[in-house]
Amino acid sequence: MPQTVLATQRTGTEAAELDYSPAEKAAIVLMAIGREDAEPLLREFSEEEVRSFARASAQLGEVPSWDIERIVGEFLVSLDDKRITMTSDKLKEFLSSILSDDAIERILEDLDDSDGQSIWEKLSSSDPVDLSNFLAREHPQTVAVVLSRIKPDSSAQVLQRLEKEFAEEVIVRIANVSILAPAVMDKVKESIEFEFLRGARLRKSKRDPDELIGSMFNFMSSDKRDTLLAGLEERSPDLAQAVQRKMFTFGDIPARVDRSSVSFIMREIENDVLLKALCFAKKNAPESKDFFLGNMSRRLAEQFEEQVNEMPTPNVKDGEAAQFAVIGVIRKMAEVGEIELHQPEDEEIDGD
């Protein structure tokens, strides 16, 4: 029986202890101490070690407080009766500060049911156009089974995209859907998993070359990036231009971030990280330093400028790491719609 099922059946601290693997115990400790405190440890992990952590985390589900206390002892007494619940989205967020999006996707692709969702939940959250195209090739009875188990709004979006006669046949069969034998249901799930969900994951992870290269360049040192970009411009000017549109570096901030967004961004970045990034920007992106300082309150800008001027200039590794952290926060805020990023081509259009 899965550990998560056993965990939910226990009713007290006298219940039998679960036999967690070493990797699962490590994952519980790291998740319990939190992302900020775990980050320095995770940065020392190899990708294979992070893969092991991700696999163990994805299998944990809900960990009851008594197991947390047993594994991490007095260090976690303050958690009281809190529990750790790991989902795919939480795992991605947890790893985002130490791995690129591509590395995270590679790791998650290796995990079976990493988010703990049932196959029907996955189908409910999948693209309705893709799902309807897939189901249109299946037997009406199979489609009826699927639509009877996913969320009604998802079923409706799929149903309205099917051919009229096919949709009518499916509706009639939905009214008479019976409980399928386990072996038959397993076959249906297997077909959906391998023929649809696996393909959907691959399509999601497949990125345009310019976006992929641009993402790589975002996290390179400026010297190396400029050298490679110059070479790319000679070999393939069109690709170089497309890559530049996808890139977002610390020096791009004034052109792509609204002035009104600065205060929101600052709330999400630790002061010492921002100070280090701005201090290093004196050397490689002075316009971005001025952009931040110019869009703070006067009192705060004076404090920051004084601290930046008094700080020793960070070395390249530390300075660029701080700037990468700032860029990571900005990109994440843009992805969830908290701020808006202007695209480079927008400026060209405005200027015409």
Question: pLDDT digits over 18-55, tens only?
Answer: 677 878 887 887 887 788 777 877 777 777 788 888 88
123 and 105 fall within a common domain? no
Tell me, what amino acid is at 284?
N
Domain that holds residue 267: 248-344
d(CA 46, CA 226) in angstroms, rounded, equals 28
Choose the final residue of a domain: 48, 82, 109.
Answer: 109
**Nearest residue to 56 via CA among 97, 6, 8, 114:** 114
105 and 123 fall within a common domain? no
The average confidence (pLDDT) of the chain is 76
- Structural domain contains residue 225: no
- Structural domain contains residue 285: yes
Q: What is the pLDDT of residue 287?
A: 94
Q: What is the pLDDT of residue 261?
A: 92
pLDDT tens, residue by residue, 212-260: 677 777 777 777 788 888 888 888 888 888 887 778 889 889 999 999 9
73 and 148 fall within a common domain? no
H helix and E strand count, the chain: 24, 2
- Structural domain contains residue 130: yes
Choose the final residue of a domain: 65, 80, 109.
Answer: 109
54 and 143 fall within a common domain? no
CA distances 218 to 44, 179, 325, Å, are: 21, 52, 11
Q: Residue 308's domain is classified under what CATH number?
A: 1.10.220.30
Q: What is the pLDDT of residue 11?
A: 42
Whether the per-residue pLDDT at 146 is higher than 70: the answer is: yes
- Structural domain contains residue 222: no
Structure tokens belonging to residue 59: 């299998």
14 and 101 fall within a common domain? yes
* Domains: count for the chain: 3
87 and 140 fall within a common domain? no
Q: What is the pLDDT of residue 107?
A: 65
Mean pLDDT of the 280-299 span: 92
CA 223, distance to chain mean position in Å, is 28
Q: What is the pLDDT of residue 293?
A: 94
Mean pLDDT of the 317-340 span: 87
Whether the per-residue pLDDT at 4 is higher than 90: the answer is: no
140 and 169 fall within a common domain? yes
102 and 126 fall within a common domain? no
**Nearest residue to 263 via CA among 303, 238, 294:** 294
Whether the per-residue pLDDT at 112 is higher than 60: the answer is: no
253 and 305 fall within a common domain? yes
- Structural domain contains residue 282: yes
Q: What is the pLDDT of residue 141?
A: 86
Mean pLDDT of the 6-19 span: 45
pLDDT tens, residue by residue, 45-84: 777 788 888 888 887 777 777 777 777 664 444 444 455 5
277 and 326 fall within a common domain? yes
53 and 133 fall within a common domain? no
84 and 45 fall within a common domain? yes
d(CA 275, CA 305) in angstroms, rounded, equals 9
Q: What sections of 73-177 are H helices per DSSP?
A: 88-95, 101-109, 119-124, 128-135, 140-149, 152-159, 164-174
- Structural domain contains residue 327: yes
- Structural domain contains residue 316: yes
Pairing mode, if any, of strands 62-63 and 84-85? antiparallel
Choose the final residue of a domain: 83, 109, 135.
Answer: 109
Percentage helix, strand, coil for the chain under 3-state DSSP, each rounded to 5: 70, 0, 25
- Structural domain contains residue 147: yes
